[in-house]
Amino acid sequence: MEWYEAAFDRMYPVLYESRGIEEATAVVARFGPRFAGRIPLIDLASGSGRYLQALLRSGAEAYGFDLSHYLLRKSLDDWKHGGRLVQGDMRHLPFRTASVAGVWNMFTSFGYFSVDTDNLLVLKEVHRILGPGGLFLFDFLNAGRISADQLRDSERQVGDYTVVEKKKLEAHGKFLVKRALIANDRSGEKETIEERLRIYAKEELEIMFRSTGFEIEEIFGDYNANPFVEGVSERVIIIGRK
What pLDDT, on the 0 to 100 scale, is given for residue 9?
Answer: 94
What pLDDT, on the 0 to 100 scale, is given for residue 18?
Answer: 76
pLDDT per residue as tens digits for the range 40-69: 999 999 999 999 999 999 999 999 999 999
What pLDDT, on the 0 to 100 scale, is given for residue 149?
Answer: 76
pLDDT per residue as tens digits for the range 131-143: 999 999 999 999 9
What pLDDT, on the 0 to 100 scale, is given for residue 70?
Answer: 97
What pLDDT, on the 0 to 100 scale, is given for residue 74?
Answer: 96
Query: What amino acid occupies position 14?
Result: V
Residues whose CB is less than 8 angstroms from the CB of residue 77 and which lie 6 or more positions away in sequence, other chains included: none
Which is it for strands 41-44 and 100-105: parallel, antiparallel or unpaired?
A: parallel
Q: How many angstroms separate the most distant Cα atoms in the chain?
A: 54
Can you tell me the distance from the alpha carbon of 6 to that of 31, in angstroms, rounded to the nearest whole number? Answer: 31
DSSP string, the chain: --HHHHHSSTTHHHHTTT--HHHHHHHHHHHGGGGTT-S-EEEET-TTSHHHHHHHHTT--EEEEES-HHHHHHHHHHH--TTSEEE--TTS--S-TT-EEEEEE-SS----SSSHHHHHHHHHHHHHHEEEEEEEEEEEE-GGG--TTTTS-EEEEETTEEEEEEEEEETTTTEEEEEEEEEETTT--EEEEEEEEE---HHHHHHHHHHTTPEEEEEESSTT-PBP-TTT-SEEEEEEE-
Buried b (16+ CB within 10 A) or exposed e, 38-56: beebbbbbbbbbbbbbbbb
Give all domains of the chain, ordered by start, each with its CATH number.
3-143+200-241 (3.40.50.150), 145-196 (2.20.25)
Can you tell me the distance from the alpha carbon of 222 to that of 228, in angstroms, rounded to the nearest whole number? Answer: 8
Q: What's the average pLDDT block by block, 10 residues per block, for the chain (242 residues)?
A: 93 87 97 97 97 98 98 97 98 98 98 98 98 98 88 94 96 96 94 97 98 98 97 96 98
Q: Tell me, yes or no, if the pTM score tops 0.75.
A: yes
